[in-house]
Amino acid sequence: MSGILRYALSSFLLEGAWIAIQITVLAMIAGLFLGLLLALMRLSRYKPVSSAAWAYIWLMRGTPLLLQLVFIYDALPRLGIRFGSITTAVIGFALNEAAFAAEFIRGGILAVNRNQSVAAASLGMGPVLTLRRIILPQAMRAILPQIANATISMLKGTSLASIIFVNELTFRAQQIIATNFAFFTVFIAAALLYVTMTTVVALLQLLLERRLDPELRTIGGRRSMLQMFLGIDRPSTAPAVAMAAGVTPAPDPRDSEPVPAAPWLNLVPDPEPEKPARDGQPFVVFTDVHKTYTLRGGHRREILRGVDLQVKRGEVVTIMGPSGSGKSTLLRLVNHLELLDRGEIMVAGELVGYRRDNGVLKPVRDLAAARAKARIGMVFQHFNLFDHLTVLENVMEAPVRVYGVDAAVARQRGMALLAKVGLAGHADHLPMRLSGGQQQRVAIARSLAIDPRLMLFDEPTSALDPELVGEVLAVIRKLAEGGMTMLVVTHEVRFAREVADRIVFMDEGVIVEEGPPEAVLDQPRERRTQQFLRVVQHH
């Protein structure tokens, strides 16, 4: 026993272990970065890019690591490229690992709901920001166990590098045995070192998994390096928590600063609330809007077939129509979440994400910036809240990351918005802890946080239990009273009657009928409208 320990603690074997650690750490870091790059390439829409990544992965996974090491060590010098043993090992292991990492990272990214990216895009977040702040932190939970697996494999696999004369642990053990034939003692000593190293990896995995668990994160604990890298900050909501607990919080010096208030929210009580003028000027103008989707197999389906519509400033327009009539598509075109095929949509006199080139619309390069500039809030049927962020973090995300608002100001404003939708007490909770109605109200607060000039609602209450519909509609009604310009897709007839200035009825990609609620709801002219209303009113 003491013989084993003597060998295990001998500087000869420890140095061998140290070499294994160095190779593993460096190769793992490089391999993961390269793997992320390859994963993104594989996910690219551009065929040459995804094919190149696929080919690399195919080649590296299809050939033995040993062969790759020997190739770098023996063959490359013929081309005048020469590396030392350890450098060769790091490069070889990294290039090999990248191929495997690419696949598990891609798997992690694909496991994140696509709605998360759509919501991020609607808030003006660009692809890199979305990847770093929204996708990767969620994908990380699926990726981390795989990273741990790969690290352990590599630690043990570094013994392969002895073939290119890296004097690592296994090789050194063999060297000792060659002189003293103490097979058992020396091999067990080496095994002990390997087990110690892999145990450290396993423990690190455990620690990081706990740190990445949003449930644990919201209960307490400091930020980890990983969270800092991923930018998961934990905003302090001590006053809100204290309030929820019925404790009077100490006055915050920031409270004296005025909260930037949007007039339609009436955040500051005003005897004569200043509503944005309903000046009768068109604010959103759809002209001859066409959209066709190309389905698999090249089959084309025309979803919108020439939509003309004008929405005035401060007006609330409700869109109704059967499923598949193109309502969601129409909304998504407004903030350029989809490309127009023909026609144009102007918001406040400007195109969103297009420039006119000889009378033809061309998408601009930086779509995210165009969306951010347009300030169009969007609320989805399935809420699409960022699952890994708390309620307040959801609301603060776009102001801080897209608009560069100071975190303290964004927090204060976010709390005010949450109070406005009746959820201040839930600021530190995760979305999944809330009811559907509460989640949808958070989603509304989140889009209001970008100070929108126009709000788009896509069936905001369709996914809710009947008893939760009212609380969401109440918030939307309050916005309408505040003078917000809104396009609301909904089948809530009573809501439309009370809140809408105008109802637009769509079917098969065209506007069939439009007019004030009394006209469209009570005396529909078109047969299709009559049929549809009969169906929804009986629910």
Contact characters 279-318, Mg ion, x per CB under 5 A: ----------------------------------------
From 211-219, 273-281, 322-330, 428-436, span contacting Mg ion (CB under 5 A): 322-330
State how far the alpha carbon of 402 is from the alpha carbons of 260, 273, 410, 450, 454, in Å: 17, 29, 12, 9, 18
Coil vs helix vs strand at 383: coil
- Of the pair 428, 459, the CB lying nearest ligand ADP is at 459
The DSSP output letter for 74 is I
Using the Cα atoms of residue 525, residue 526, residue 530 and residue 532 in order, give the sign of their dihedral: negative
From 185-193, 205-213, 310-318, 326-334, span contacting Mg ion (CB under 5 A): 326-334
Q: Supply 236's token pair.
A: 């302090």
- CB 489, min distance to Mg ion, A: 6
Q: How far apart are CA 133 and CA 432, in angstroms?
A: 18
Helix (H) or strand (E) holding 532: helix 527-537
The DSSP output letter for 132 is I
- CB 291, min distance to ligand ADP, A: 8
- Of the pair 49, 118, the CB lying nearest ligand ADP is at 118
- CB 519, min distance to ligand ADP, A: 22
Contact of residue 227 among ligand ADP, Mg ion, none (CB under 5-8 Å per partner type): none
Contact of residue 326 among Mg ion, ligand ADP, none (CB under 5-8 Å per partner type): ligand ADP
- CB 506, min distance to ligand ADP, A: 7
- CB 314, min distance to Mg ion, A: 25
Coil vs helix vs strand at 303: strand
Distance of CA 32 to the CA centre of its chain: 20
Determine if 117 is a binding residue for Mg ion (CB under 5 A). Answer: no
| Interaxial angle between packed helices 466-481 and 436-448, expressed in degrees from 0 to 180 and rounded to the nearest 10 | 20
Pairing of strands 454-458, 376-379: parallel
Q: How far apart are CA 120 and CA 394, in angstroms?
A: 10
* Residues 514 and 520: beta-carbon distance below 8 Å: yes
- CB 443, min distance to ligand ADP, A: 18
Residues in contact with ligand ADP by the rule CB under 6 A: 293, 295, 303, 321, 323-329
- Of the pair 329, 440, the CB lying nearest ligand ADP is at 329
From 75-83, 161-169, 236-244, 323-331, span contacting Mg ion (CB under 5 A): 323-331
Q: How far apart are CA 526 and CA 389, in angstroms?
A: 46
Coil vs helix vs strand at 507: strand
Q: How far apart are CA 341 and CA 422, in angstroms?
A: 41
Contact of residue 324 among ligand ADP, Mg ion, none (CB under 5-8 Å per partner type): ligand ADP
- CB 440, min distance to Mg ion, A: 15
- Of the pair 186, 320, the CB lying nearest ligand ADP is at 320
Q: How far apart are CA 374 and CA 328, in angstroms?
A: 19
- Of the pair 73, 383, the CB lying nearest ligand ADP is at 383
- CB 386, min distance to Mg ion, A: 22
Three-class SS of 191-257: HHHHHHHHHHHHHHHHHHHHHHCHHHHHHCCCCCHHHHHHCCCCCCCHHHHHHHCCCCCCCCHHHHC
Determine if 328 is a binding residue for Mg ion (CB under 5 A). Answer: yes
- Of the pair 24, 329, the CB lying nearest ligand ADP is at 329
Contact of residue 217 among Mg ion, ligand ADP, none (CB under 5-8 Å per partner type): none
Contact of residue 325 among Mg ion, ligand ADP, none (CB under 5-8 Å per partner type): ligand ADP
Specify the residue for token string 């949003």. Answer: 214
Count of CB atoms situated within 10 Å of the CB of 535: 10
- Of the pair 172, 327, the CB lying nearest ligand ADP is at 327
- CB 373, min distance to ligand ADP, A: 25
Contact of residue 414 among Mg ion, ligand ADP, none (CB under 5-8 Å per partner type): none
Chain residues 510-529 in contact with Mg ion, contact rule CB under 5 A: none
Contact of residue 137 among Mg ion, ligand ADP, none (CB under 5-8 Å per partner type): none
* Residues 160 and 169: beta-carbon distance below 8 Å: no
Q: How far apart are CA 15 and CA 211, in angstroms?
A: 32
Q: Supply 312's token pair.
A: 């005035």
- CB 520, min distance to Mg ion, A: 19
- CB 536, min distance to ligand ADP, A: 13
- Total residues in contact with Mg ion, by rule CB under 5 A: 1
Distance of CA 129 to the CA centre of its chain: 9
Cα-Cα end-to-end distance for the chain: 79
- Of the pair 68, 328, the CB lying nearest Mg ion is at 328
Determine if 384 is a binding residue for Mg ion (CB under 5 A). Answer: no
Residues that bind Mg ion (CB under 5 A): 328
